[in-house]
A and B are shown apart, each in its own frame.
Chain A
Amino acid sequence: MKFINLFRDTRPLDWLVLILVTTVSVASLFVARATSAKASDLVTVEVKGKIVYRLSLSKDTEVDVKGPLGITHVVIKDRRVRVTQSPCPEKICVRQGWISRGAIVCVPNRVVVTVGTEIADRSVDAITG
């Protein structure tokens, strides 16, 4: 199979699409950077949108949170956070490994672990918009 020949089968619009989707992806990177709050020690663990733990990144600890599928095990160690056990089928949260900023999201068990987002207690209600 002559691989190079396939490029003759592409059309100008293909490359426009490639440029467009790349632009949107890069833009999303900047938007994500801009919206992620300033660095802080706060680690929040949410289940179904409700904050169940507010922890400090500088204090090593381990917590279990109960989601719809079962127990998700969250570990804080050496100023990093990770999910070590989860009952979800895909284990994306576990495979994400250690993070020191950003978020670990487990969609099936509805668990969200965030690092460094210093926002007022959201357990009251969801902010819409």
Chain B
Amino acid sequence: MQSQDNLRIAILSAFAIGLHVVERLIPSPVPWLRFGFANIVILLSLILYGFRVAVMITLIRVLVGSLLVGTFLGPGFLLSFSGGLVSTTAMYACLRVFRAAISAFGLSLIGAFFHNLTQLGVAYALFIRRLDAVLYLAPAILFLGIITGSINGVATLAIIKRLRES
């Protein structure tokens, strides 16, 4: 079981890191837009394999992703780290509490929302210290999170459906 989990963590982390790096090549019209495709992988592993696997993939994605992108240990890394961890935990908590009453779509929205909220909070607490400036950025970032969260949620639903069929 343990070694099987480790194999899953390795393969799924590779997927998450790949998506995380490749999504940056997509040109976006808005500066704060991050698709967060890696969350599809996190969400899948959370639903299929549980919290431990999902958290491990989150941590590996944040660590290796930042090394590849070049933000390791910078402010961007701290934002990515805290956002990823809180987002995965929030999705797990909702899955645990609501179980079958919520699908990957709602969980993805929760994940995106908490990811953004955490990043805004950490940016304020550690780096910005200007509440008006952070509040000014909040609406745009939260709205973009709803859009990307919906896209990732639908994608996850589609993948789960495919997996169940096969």
Residue positions of A touching B, CB distance < 8 A: 1, 5-6, 9-18, 21-22, 24-26, 28-29, 31-32, 35-37, 46, 49, 89-93, 95-96, 102-103, 105, 107-108, 110, 112, 114, 117, 126
Contact = CB atoms under 8 A, between A and B. Distances in A.
A113 B32 CA distance: 16
Contacts of A93: 31
A114 B102 contact: no
B106 A11 contact: yes
Contacts of B130: 46, 49, 103, 112, 114
Contacts of B145: 21, 25
Interface string B118-155: 00000100011111111111110011011001100110
Nearest to B153: A14
Given A11-B101, A21-B113, A103-B137, A35 B132 contact: yes
A65 to B, nearest CB: 15
B78 to A, nearest CB: 9
A16 B106 CA distance: 8
B20 to A, nearest CB: 14
Contact of A25 (B105, B131, B139): B139
Given A105-B128, A107-B76, A17 B157 contact: no
Interface string B57-88: 00000000000011100111001000000000
A92 B31 contact: yes
A108 B132 CA distance: 18
A37 B132 contact: yes
Can you list the 6 inter-chain pairs with the closest CB atoms, starting with the nearest?
A: A14-B106, A95-B31, A103-B133, A25-B142, A29-B139, A17-B106
B158 A1 contact: yes
18 contacts: A11-B103, A13-B98, A14-B109, A16-B106, A21-B110, A21-B113, A21-B142, A21-B146, A25-B145, A28-B138, A28-B139, A32-B136, A46-B130, A49-B129, A90-B76, A108-B76, A112-B130, A114-B130
A37 B143 CA distance: 23
Contact of B69 (A28, A32, A89): A89
> Considering residues B74, B98, B136, which has the most beta carbons from chain A within 10 angstroms of its beta carbon?
B136
Given A21-B109, A107-B123, A112-B128, A36 B136 contact: yes
A56 B47 CA distance: 54
Contacts of B146: 18, 21-22, 25
B102 A14 contact: yes
Given A24-B142, A25-B139, A112 B103 contact: no
A10 B103 contact: yes
A95 B33 CA distance: 11
